[in-house]
Amino acid sequence: MEATVPEARQEPRPLALAGAALSGILASGFLGGTTNAINGWVSPGYFVTILHWRGVQDVWRASIAQGIFEGLLFGVLFSVVFTVATGIITGARCSFWFALKHWLGILGGAYVCWALGGLAAMGLATLSPEFYRRAFIGVPEEFGPMLRYAWVGGSICGAELGGLVSVVVGLLILRANWRRQAAGQGSLHAAR
């Protein structure tokens, strides 16, 4: 209980939380755009098939725009969760930089999950191509295009689900870091 006394003396920083929320939304849009820049290059056929983009002239650019759009939508959801939880954990007293540092960790975790999701789907498609073609819509018959298709589908699922997991893990780390910071401030005040 004493470890929370120093943070109780700080004033709430609602603008820091608002800035962190906006940063999370923008970071998610960046994640969606950059990952789909790669995905649209790897398998434009995935986007043509799944999003019914027949007749789209530049699938690669359209996939980037789609990634940014979906990233921003997920960013709003994840940012609300992150901001509300951060406000509760810190009593709305953390600095913008404290919250941003944790957002960057969450962003890094989502990139890792994006890659792991793509690799897992490629592994499944390699292990059992017949199952993969039956289980998913529009999978190409040829092995190489099938693996590229699998990468894109798996990586998108990895980023979306991994983003949620990364927010949860990031909040647990934020909570531990906040408690450690509060305990350090408590020992500084006790030494004075």
Express each pLDDT in 31-77 by its tens digit: 999 999 999 999 999 999 999 999 999 999 999 999 999 999 999 99
DSSP string, 58-94: -HHHHHHHHHHHHHHHHHHHHHHHHHHHHHHHHTT--
Domain ranges (residues) in the chain = 20-191
What's at 120, amino acid-wise?
A: A
Asked if 115 and 151 touch (Cβ cutoff 8 Å), the reply is no
pLDDT score of 7 more than 50: no
Which positions ≥6 away from 180 have C-beta within 8 Å? none
Express each pLDDT in 146-176 by its tens digit: 999 999 999 999 999 999 999 999 999 999 9
pLDDT at 10: 77
Interatomic CA distance for residues 84 and 86, integer angstroms: 5
What mean pLDDT value characterizes the chain? 91
Express each pLDDT in 99-111 by its tens digit: 999 999 999 999 9
pLDDT score of 115 more than 90: yes
Select from 78, 65, 56 the least CA-distant residue to 36: 65
Provide the whole-model pTM: 0.88
Q: How confident is the model at residue 192 (pLDDT cuts 50, 70, 90)?
A: very low
pLDDT score of 142 more than 70: yes
pLDDT at 1: 41
Interatomic CA distance for residues 28 and 73, integer angstroms: 8
